[in-house]
Amino acid sequence: MNDVDKLIAVEEIKQLKARYYRCMDTKQWSGWEEVFTADATMDVSEERPPGHNDPVPVIQGRAKIIPYVSKVLEGVVTVHHGHMPEIEITSDTTARGIWSMEDKLRWPDGKTTLHGYGHYHETYEKVDGKWRIKTLKLTRLRIDRT
């Protein structure tokens, strides 16, 4: 892959991540599903959403990720921002990246909120000509809850 192809791949991955945030925040689950590979892994095991005391599992497979997240976020207003991506193209069809992130969540009771800061650690795979998220791990630096 030459330098121009790498720059194009980086831009495509940035747009992929923008779609990830937008579709999650607008609850467009069918569009959100398209950002993942079929065998994607989501590790948000550090999370403890209000009302969920059990450890959050590492979720294997797009078919399990979408129902899990959509249920946890049902009725929750979310705003996610991704910043300062560090993206490395590792082959013609693979890449990895780290994104600084900030999110704000407000539960339906109007009182429970979360304001979080951290990083997404991801790998990407190009499938049928399109970049997809293969693995995702969310790490938190800080969470403010009310």
Q: What is the CATH number of the domain that holds 76?
A: 3.10.450.50
Domain residue limits at 70: 3-145
pLDDT value, residue 51: 59
Regions of the chain where pLDDT drops below 50: none
- Amino acid occupying residue 128: D
Nearest to 118 by CA among 56, 46, 62, 20: 46
pLDDT value, residue 45: 82
Q: How many CB atoms lie within 10 A of CB 90?
A: 11
Dist CA 135 CA 108 (whole Å): 30
pTM of the model: 0.92
pLDDT value, residue 47: 72
Q: How many domains does the chain have?
A: 1
Pairing of β 113-127 and β 36-43: unpaired
